[in-house]
Chain A
Amino acid sequence: MNAADFPILSVMLAVPMLAAIACLFVRAEMARIIALTATLFNLLLGVWLWISYNPAGAQWQFTESASLFGPIGWKLGIDGISLTLIMLSVFLMPICIGASWRSITSRVGEYMAAFLLMETLMIGVFAAQDLMLFYIFFEAGLIPMYLIIGIWGGAERIYASYKFFLYTLLGSLMMLIAMLWMIQFAGTADIPTLLNTDFPVDVQKWLWLAFFASFAVKMPMWPVHTWLPDAHVQAPTAGSVILAGVLLKMGGYGFLRFSIPMFPEASADFIPLVFGLSMVAVVYTSLVALVQNDMKKLIAYSSVAHMAIVTVGLFTFNQQGIEGAIIVMLSHGLVSGALFLCVGVIYDRLHTREISRYGGLSINMPKYALLFMLFTMASVGLPGTSGFVGEFLALAGAYKVSTWATLIATTGIILGAGYMLYLYRRIAFGAQINADAAAMPDMDGREMWLLAPIAAAVIWMGVYPETFLAPIRRDVATIVARIERAAPAGDSKLNAKDPTTAKYRVGGHGSEKAAEGSQH
């Protein structure tokens, strides 16, 4: 059967939904099997979707349309950007189920149902083509996450889930008001139509700010980031994986799908705000990460710093910056997800996130040390891993807009190396100071099966990123073309013959030397 006439997106939404309902009525063991089967099946559907997607075809593919109640329409469809993020979601989902296989022992059915519901909502966010439908998926995503943290979380889970909910909800209400206004103005909630609607420049500013209130929290950007460390620390391992892996990408997706193409002038006007907050975030949260004693908090703060690179890249208004930002999102989804899994592996053994309770794990857990090193290096942005490609492109794009922002954001590569290697040293290197940590067994087969696929994807994306760049190329170009009219000039303006800097350059024989040199 051809994917084009098959409602594959609806099926991908339905499979986890039905499995979630089934999970509520079966025993623990059965719920695990149902959840794993459903997520793996969805991964297969995702692969089929990816193969069937034609990068050169129509902008919106696999479209479906049916009217629902009132103004809300069941409109689905994806472009390349949605495709890559859906792939990320369906790829991480079975891994999350596997990570919860043994560590979750109470209310397993409900837990699996929450995760499966989460998967439906995530795919829905990336596939929705109706503004209100998007809003429902976007906001409903809060609920299962809220439950996962609040029920299966750590000791202070209530505070963390409350903070998570409060922050994300406040921003969302403003976005809802803005959306209602937009539907009123354009007469439709159809996203592809809205993407080609020119909103009045003076209103754009307010709409942009309303969306910003929601996306900045989801991102999260400094200073509305403090819900993230608490949420991560309290969430179960799989909750952290999906939170860092996919939920944080919704903010970036929102900027890219709505704020930037729909309000180009406002986006250009607010570049100083976005860059300013991002620059603060890179330095501030990196330094905070440096002094953490809790592994999960450290990685959570590093996420904020990485997401700041995404926001810088998105608002560059050029191909490299935006493509880079998308690759950083994908890479961060894999790498921080993997790092949280790495934390989970040793947390399951010792039940503490305190860094100083570990040490010398290279001796008794060599396989673990190797994979943890790989993900550490990917997080640091070593070329050859996924982290580099995205960061490099995003910052190369940023240079065209602002050298200051590029300089400050690039200091992230120094600070990132500092806190990640410091973490790695305290966990994996040194002498075995804690007897219980020294007695921990190395990773078992299940844990290898969780981390090895991510490791492969991280290297694949680092060595041959074309697989991930090809589907988004045309769609990013479309956005860049649409916002070109508002694109900023940048601060590197070239002045072809400038006498004021003459004293720094080569003298008479020098230029002749230079000409000679170029002949080689």
Chain B
Amino acid sequence: MTSIHIIVFLPLLAALVAGLGQRFIGALAAKTITTAGLFTAALLSWPIFIGFLSGTETPYVAPVMQWVQSGDLTFDWELRVDSLTAVMLVVITTVSALVHLYSWGYMEEDPDQPRFFAYLSLFTFAMLMLVTANNLVQMFFGWEGVGLASYLLIGFWYKKPSANAAAIKAFVVNRVGDLGFMLGIFGVFWLFGTVSIPEILAAAPEKVGSSIGFLGYRVDTMSLLCVLLFIGAMGKSAQLGLHTWLPDAMEGPTPVSALIHAATMVTAGVFMVCRLSPLFETSQFALNMIMIVGATTAIFAATVGLVQNDIKRVIAYSTCSQLGYMFFAAGAGAYSAAMFHLFTHAFFKALLFLGAGSVIHAMHHEQDMRYYGGLRKHIPLTFWAMMAGTLAITGVGIVGIGGFAGFHSKDAIIEAAYASTSTYHMYGFAVGVIAALLTSFYSWRLMFLTFFGKPRWIESEHIQHSVHKTPETATDSTGGYHPHESPWTMLVPLGVLAVGAVLAGYVFKYDFIYAEEGGTEFWAASTLYFNTHLIHAMHEVPLWVKLASTVAMMTGLVTAYLMYQRSDDAPQRLSAMFAPIYRFFLNKWYFDELYNLIFIRPAFWFGRLFWKQGDVGIIDRFGPNGSAAVVAFGSRMAVRMQSGYLYSYALVMLLGLVAAVSWMMVQA
């Protein structure tokens, strides 16, 4: 029993106690046990991370128990601890602990709190199993486990039809990715005869240059396996094509969005690519695909984020876009930059979500930013926390000196894309800069609409409902509503994450993305492929490249300021002028409509067709019912033949005799 066992299994134990025992121990005990469990796990995780930073820890695998042994296929339950795991450990346990604490305030009025806390802890356990996996199947266990927890938490308010629909969508769309992941594991097992991650990574380079049969085609072996595994990553990390579940997942309570759909679960795909980076390094085709998918997702999600009105949906598309950044960093070969952005993003995106939750809490569950405005003075602490998050995500900083978290991590990705030698690296670079502009615009738009300007609360039905006033009877645009700052349980997590959003980039950049200053040593204690050539090239890009993202960020900020602060009707005029594009963005590029048309409706249509026409119309009609009819017909004929007249029996006998004789003659 080592500390890693406690870190991983304490949340499971807490989830079981809180979930199954809630009727015996009560809500308060359930909340206390889960929250205390997570804080304990977080306190135990940081020393491991710091140990790897200082070089005193070495990677090890802690066995748990046997799982499956079938012929030459063996995989066990075991916990792998290395520097890559350590990064994920602190991210998961810290954010999870803070989200547990935050939920004390946010979920205070919910009658079903023990179940909520049990789900949160269960999720944390599954996520920890994912990141400590030493074989692909345990990773898949965690992968599906977080999917289950995500499903349960999105659908937590199960009386809402929209929440139920979103939960099923999240699970099923993820399963599409899982199909790729599973086929990838099968292929890996077929090729290497093992699913153990270190063994696969060691054996992969030998297979470069080989080809393999797949669906009747002959394809490059390593490209096939990497692409199949990456399809799994696309599902979990909501990349273009399989992203449609993430915005809908915002139906879940906001703490869930912060923990699962921003900081941890959705980054599992990035983690997987980094964990298996030596494998991905054997296929340029797969890396190109990751680069293109990641970059396209980054720009796609950013364009949709520009025009959304729901505060959580803006942040959700922002997450989708930032995940795209992480992927194209990996596609460029800068896995450490991807992990760095994953690390900083966890802090500032969780902060933004929890801040948004605090705003929603203050605004009586109103989520539409068109009905916000002027909240800065009413909820100042939330405002400053959100400000820290916005400064971090937009990457505010001064080149050569330092800045907020995103300044270090996002700019590293853009520089890596420029410096990379991969085929499509300039596409990644261009998209990275443009998406940075868009990121800055939608982030500041959110800030301006929410915290600045005049209150527009009276239009909101939620607010009207709470103060019992309609727009006609109201005296001013506040509708007589007084927003309140959130309780300390919600503000403390905001404060801690704000510190992370400010400092995480500056403090940890050396160990993540500088070679001689710690990176080489830090990442050597993991399976992550640390490309020192690329890291050096990254730091030596021309000054204009380094400035490009800062300029993009400033442009976005100024545009947002002009449109939402200086002008009354610029957004309206602009959306009218570019109506088709606006509608295209607003409707999320019509992905949902398209999928509904080509997948969902045909599935039900074919289901009915197979049932009514196939089973009933053909199989039953000509099968059992048909044979029954034949039997009935035969018996009617037999009855008719048994007429009692001697001549008819004689005729039958004669016919039979003729038949028998002719058959014998033919035989002879």
Contact = CB atoms under 8 A, between A and B. Distances in A.
B210 A514 contact: no
Contacts of A260: none
Nearest to B333: A513
Interface residues of A, number: 88
Contacts of B67: 463-466
A292 B616 CA distance: 13
A464 to B, nearest CB: 7
A377 B72 CA distance: 28
Contacts of A502: 209, 220
Contacts of B523: 520
A203 interface: no
A120 B208 CA distance: 58
B185 interface: yes
Interface string A406-437: 11001101110110011001001111000000
B183 A291 contact: no
Contact of B278 (A414, A418, A425, A517): A517
A493 B624 contact: no
The 10 closest A-B pairs by CB, nearest first: A319-B71, A517-B278, A498-B211, A291-B607, A399-B186, A383-B141, A504-B285, A287-B607, A517-B529, A501-B220
A384 B155 contact: no
Interface in B291-328: none
B171 interface: yes
Contact of A288 (B65, B189, B610): B610
B640 interface: no
A58 B413 CA distance: 63
A227 B623 CA distance: 10
A495 interface: yes
A393 B164 CA distance: 32
A254 B282 CA distance: 45
B161 interface: yes
Interface in B456-512: none
A22 B277 CA distance: 68
A511 B208 contact: yes
A495 B212 contact: yes
Given A223-B619, A382-B148, A469-B69, 4 more contacts: A384-B145, A495-B218, A498-B220, A518-B205
A404 B216 contact: yes
Nearest to A287: B607
A106 interface: no
B561 interface: no
A429 B524 CA distance: 48
Nearest to B221: A494
Nearest to B20: A370
B591 interface: no
A56 interface: no
A509 B421 contact: yes
Contacts of A477: 71
A395 B210 CA distance: 24
Given A421-B168, A505-B223, A393 B620 contact: no
Contacts of B211: 494-495, 498, 500-501
B144 interface: yes
Nearest to B288: A504
B614 A284 contact: yes
Contacts of B73: 319-320, 393, 396
B218 A284 contact: no
Interface string B368-404: 0000000000000000000000000000000000000
Nearest to A413: B175
Nearest to A164: B624
A445 interface: no
Given A291-B604, A494-B191, A284 B69 contact: no
A498 B210 contact: yes
Contacts of B216: 404, 491
B252 interface: no
A171 to B, nearest CB: 12
Given A406-B186, A514-B281, A518-B201, A466 B69 contact: yes
Interface of A: 162-163, 166-167, 223-224, 226-227, 229, 284-285, 287-292, 318-320, 323-324, 360, 362-363, 377, 382-384, 388-389, 392-393, 395-396, 399-400, 403-404, 406-407, 410-411, 413-415, 417-418, 421-422, 425, 428-431, 463-466, 469, 473, 477, 480, 491-498, 500-502, 504-507, 509-511, 513-518, 520
A497 B611 contact: no
A332 to B, nearest CB: 18
A501 B219 contact: yes
B186 A393 contact: no
B189 A517 contact: no
Contacts of A505: 208-209, 220, 222-223, 282-285
Nearest to B158: A429
Contacts of B529: 513, 516-517, 520
A493 B219 CA distance: 11
A422 B185 CA distance: 28
B365 interface: no
A464 B65 contact: yes
B430 interface: no
Given A383-B141, A498-B210, A514 B172 contact: no
A415 B171 CA distance: 11
B60 interface: no
A482 to B, nearest CB: 15
A256 to B, nearest CB: 15
20 contacts: A224-B623, A226-B624, A227-B624, A291-B611, A320-B73, A382-B148, A383-B145, A399-B190, A407-B183, A414-B178, A425-B155, A430-B161, A430-B164, A469-B68, A498-B218, A505-B222, A516-B529, A520-B201, A520-B527, A520-B528
Contacts of A421: 151, 167-168, 171-172
Interface in B426-467: none
B277 A517 contact: yes
B187 interface: yes
B453 to A, nearest CB: 38
Interface string B213-232: 11110111111000000000
Contacts of B610: 284-285, 287-288
B68 A389 contact: yes
A504 B615 contact: no
Contacts of B608: 291
Contacts of B189: 396, 399
A17 B634 CA distance: 39
A306 to B, nearest CB: 16
Given A421-B171, A518-B278, A411 B208 contact: no
Interface in B581-595: none
Nearest to B631: A166
Contacts of A224: 619, 623
Given A319-B70, A407-B215, A431-B159, A506 B182 contact: no
A413 B179 contact: yes
B284 A506 contact: yes
Contacts of A162: 624, 628
B446 to A, nearest CB: 32
B628 A166 contact: yes
A517 B523 CA distance: 11
Among A494, A497, A504, A511, chain B packs the most CB atoms within 10 A around the CB of A504
Nearest to A431: B159
A361 to B, nearest CB: 10
Given A399-B183, A429-B158, A518-B205, A404 B283 contact: no
A366 to B, nearest CB: 9
A230 B335 CA distance: 56
A349 to B, nearest CB: 20
B218 A501 contact: yes
Contacts of B158: 360, 362, 428-430
Contacts of A403: 183, 213-215
Contacts of B167: 421, 425
Contacts of A406: 183, 186
A418 B530 CA distance: 40
Interface in B96-152: 137, 140-141, 144-145, 148, 151
